[in-house]
Chains A and B, each alone.
Chain A
């Protein structure tokens, strides 16, 4: 399984 990064769920401003 691959670990997703948190930034792929929450947007930068």
Chain B
């Protein structure tokens, strides 16, 4: 059987809010090392990769590898019934066709069990090659969210450029143009307010803002976001999940025809 008890249940709620509009159905792959998920959006332009390590759970048991096929909208409906401070336990039998979510209130005076039907999902995992990215930028996740939202009101695509000075986001549309530059900034009081640029070579790529906007639904998971870019490769937008792993989004670039 599989059982995972998560003291900070709100993390799971946040993960679901971040991916439920991008991916419809997906397998949660449970093994003794944790829970992993890989899924593409319906148009096969973006890929989501989630890792929740066993060590991040208060209790974790997985006797044999299980692929739990889940409709994310339905799981989101279930998790919305958990309080933000609740402890969440996931349970599934090896041969079962349901998953149980147990919610415990912080002072243990309310225990709720929700059972959700699983589905059979054929999924093939894509091999993501290890890449030495030409540019890696870490910046406040709220800042990234704001920039992407602001640019979305002006254009459909954004050019993201990285030089040793910083990262720039540009767009254009019927009403005009916009260009935002965030400079490397390591002299701030709080580490989470820093913007750091690690660069081997300047890089500039074009992406659909609609997807970038969708990724920023993960902002609540982490105060910082890391953007990794290389010429003619998908951008990686990574939100680290404290003590547990990460939520990564890969987005294919737009290329000159």
Contact = CB atoms under 8 A, between A and B. Distances in A.
Interface of A: 1-13
B47 interface: yes
Contact of A10 (B43, B47, B254): B47
| Interface size band for B | 20 to 34
Closest 10 CB pairs of A and B: A10-B126, A1-B254, A4-B252, A11-B127, A6-B252, A2-B257, A5-B44, A6-B47, A10-B128, A3-B254
Contacts, number: 58
Interface in B205-257: 206, 208, 233-234, 250-257
B27 interface: no
B129 interface: yes
A9 B232 CA distance: 9
Contacts of A4: 45, 252-255
A13 to B, nearest CB: 6
Contacts of A1: 157, 206, 254-257
A5 to B, nearest CB: 5
A7 B44 CA distance: 7
A11 B44 CA distance: 13
Contacts of A13: 124-127
Given A11-B126, A11-B127, A6 B254 contact: no
Contacts of A2: 254-257
Contacts of A9: 233-234, 250, 252
Nearest to B44: A5
A5 B108 CA distance: 48
Nearest to A3: B254
Nearest to B207: A3
A10 B44 contact: no
28 contacts: A1-B206, A1-B254, A1-B257, A2-B257, A3-B45, A3-B208, A3-B254, A4-B254, A4-B255, A5-B252, A6-B40, A6-B46, A6-B47, A6-B126, A7-B44, A9-B233, A9-B234, A9-B250, A10-B126, A10-B127, A10-B128, A10-B129, A11-B126, A11-B127, A12-B124, A13-B124, A13-B125, A13-B126
